[in-house]
């Protein structure tokens, strides 16, 4: 009986070690991605020629955005066929391109508003990540609910591009905050569960980092639209 108990204890400890290892890698890569994004946004803002090329030419701007989408779909859909080095390079390239396109946020919102919203986002994201990692509840049911909410936010945002309703934008942003807050907890929980099932290595860490990176950036943008002070 003692041997069985000892074996079970070692197995449980191994699961915890795998979970902690993968989560640390995920957050390290996510932090690196956010740092690259911030640096590239500052570089773009400090270079009048580069900033004008991005903001002053819609073709270039939308080309960069479609490039970002292509990188996300490539990394998400072909992660099993990519080498760890290629996956890492794609994640870094995406983070850099996102920094370039996000520089336009400085044209719309005040610096103090951007800073305060970033701090708020970090606090909310951190709290929901801790909840997702520490909870003993099965959050599987959250996945389908949040995915439907995400699809609704995307469709409504596309429609509002043509309608241009400020009231609709406010409502969409409010719902978006709820959706991405929930996704932060769910995605953290999912990463922890994958680690418990034996998932490990740099590629899963990169994919997890991309997922949480997207949650953070979208939560930040939704909060900024919802509460940010425009210039």
Quote the pLDDT of residue 95: 96
98: exposed, middle or buried (Cβ count in 10 Å: 0-12, 13-18, 19+): buried
Quote the pLDDT of residue 182: 95
Residue (of 17, 76, 15, 24) closest to 188 by Cα position: 24
How far is Cα 46 from Cα 195, in angstroms, rounded to an integer? 41
SS3 137: coil
Quote the pLDDT of residue 34: 96
Indicate if the pLDDT at residue 105 is higher than 90. no
Is residue 143 very low, low, confident or very high in pLDDT (cuts 50, 70, 90)? confident
15: exposed, middle or buried (Cβ count in 10 Å: 0-12, 13-18, 19+): middle
Average pLDDT over residues 198-211: 88
Indicate if the pLDDT at residue 99 is higher than 90. yes
pTM of the full structure: 0.88
Is residue 10 very low, low, confident or very high in pLDDT (cuts 50, 70, 90)? low
Is residue 28 very low, low, confident or very high in pLDDT (cuts 50, 70, 90)? very high
Mind listing the pLDDT tens digit for each residue in 65-87?
888 989 998 998 888 889 999 99
Helix, strand, coil abundance in the chain, percent, nearest 5: 85, 0, 10
């Amino acid at each position: 009986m003692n041997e069985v108990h000892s074996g079970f204890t070692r197995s449980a400890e191994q699961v915890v070690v795998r979970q902690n290892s993968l989560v640390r890698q995920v957050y390290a890569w996510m932090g690196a991605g956010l740092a690259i994004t911030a640096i590239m946004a500052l570089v773009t803002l400090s270079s009048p020629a580069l900033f004008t090329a991005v903001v002053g030419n819609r073709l270039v701007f939308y080309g960069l955005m479609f490039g970002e989408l292509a990188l996300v779909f490539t990394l998400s859909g072909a992660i099993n066929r990519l080498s760890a080095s290629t996956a890492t390079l794609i994640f870094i390239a995406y983070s850099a391109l996102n920094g370039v396109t996000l520089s336009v946020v400085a044209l719309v919102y005040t610096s103090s508003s951007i800073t305060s919203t970033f701090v708020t986002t970090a606090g909310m994201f951190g709290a929901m990540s801790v909840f997702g990692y520490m909870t003993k509840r099965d959050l599987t049911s959250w996945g389908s609910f949040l995915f439907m909410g995400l699809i609704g936010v995307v469709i409504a945002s596309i429609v509002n591009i043509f309608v241009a309703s400020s009231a609709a934008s406010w409502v969409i942003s409010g719902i978006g905050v709820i959706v991405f807050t929930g996704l932060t907890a769910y995605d953290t929980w999912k990463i922890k569960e994958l680690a418990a099932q034996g998932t490990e290595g740099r590629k899963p860490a990169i994919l997890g980092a991309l997922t949480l990176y997207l949650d953070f950036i979208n939560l930040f943008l939704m909060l900024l639209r919802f509460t940010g002070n425009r210039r």
